[in-house]
Amino acid sequence: MRPLASALLLFSLGFAAAASAAETTLPLWPEGAPGKMLPPSEATLKSIAGVAPRNGASETHITEPTLTVYPAAQPNGAAVLVAPGGGYWFLSSRNEGTMVCEWLNQLGVTAALLHYRVPTRDNSPPHELPVQDAQRALGLLRNRSKEFGIDPNRVGVLGFSAGANLVGHLSWDRSARGYPQKEGVDDPRGPDFTVFIYGGGFLEPGDSTKFREGFSVPKDACPAFFAVAHDDKNNPLEAAMLYLELKKLQRPAELHIYATGGHGYGMSRKNTPAGLWFERCGEWMAAMGLLKPTP
């Protein structure tokens, strides 16, 4: 059986043992995070209360963001920065976080879970501070690549919902960074590949035929994988529009739109076609040569 198929089979039967190497948690801003988080409004607090953090499944009120690195037992050199969703109110840190890291480890990929600042829904734009956290995390992974056994040219990003919006900005938004760059910590490059799961936020409100003013997919955009359900509001339009832009630019991309599935399934619905997005993603990563062991 092929290595990828074997790993997917193990995952479908249940997560295998955790990686042998211990995880490492790094503060992103030991000197203090840049920018200012606004105090959460009543509306934000009500939204958070509706999905109260429980049993490590979700978390919020993160003011000191961190990066937790999960090494694979048999690393192939690839790494993925994982950004859970949660509407910029909270992080779905199990279903769209640690479970994703466990799957990536099974593929030989070093996983890095981003605990970005939330809630930032009252900030304008709400993605600004979380994107800064992701930029710093990407730089840390590349600058400490030898320590973590990572190929600095195979560092991708994977995000869900608001986390997908975050990694989309990280991948395609080339505006100036909002904090001073630190040599040996930050890296000016974007990710080497992008996995965008039921994300949105790039189309003009009220006109889903256009991108937001000032946004465009750059000509050198990295390879991308998209997965979304047809019955997930405007998110399939977002994925389709982004995919078509990459196609026009002749950049590598793959798009999956499932008939049903809704939103927020993460890794928890493996009995449905949409819930098996990770199998298709693993196949895409293998086809792109991202899972080949570093020489």
> Do the domain assignments include residue 293?
no
The total domain count for the chain is 1
Look at residue 174 and tell me if it is in a domain.
yes
Domain assignment present for 97: yes
Give the number of C-alpha atoms closer than 13 A to the C-alpha of residue 255, restricted to the C-beta side.
17
Classify residue 137: in a domain, yes or no.
Answer: yes
**DSSP states of 218-281:** -TTPPPEEEEEETTSTTHHHHHHHHHHHHHHTT--EEEEEESS--S--TTS-TTSTGGGHHHHH
The model's pTM: 0.92
Q: Is 202 helix (H, G, I), strand (E, B) or coil?
A: coil
Q: Transcribe 55-76 into DSSP letters.
A: TTS-B--B-S-EEEEE--SS--
Q: Is residue 59 part of a domain?
A: yes
How do the pLDDT tens digits run along the chain, 295 residues long? 444 444 444 444 344 333 346 899 999 999 999 999 999 999 999 989 877 666 678 899 999 999 999 999 999 999 999 999 999 999 999 999 999 999 999 999 999 999 999 999 999 999 999 999 999 999 999 999 999 999 999 999 999 999 999 999 999 998 889 899 999 999 999 999 999 999 999 999 989 999 999 999 999 999 999 999 999 999 999 999 999 999 999 999 999 999 999 999 999 888 899 999 999 999 999 999 999 997 7
Tell me which residue range forms the domain holding 98.
3-32+45-287
Per the CB < 8 A criterion, the answer to whether 117 and 44 are in contact is no
The CATH number of the domain holding residue 149 is: 3.40.50.1820
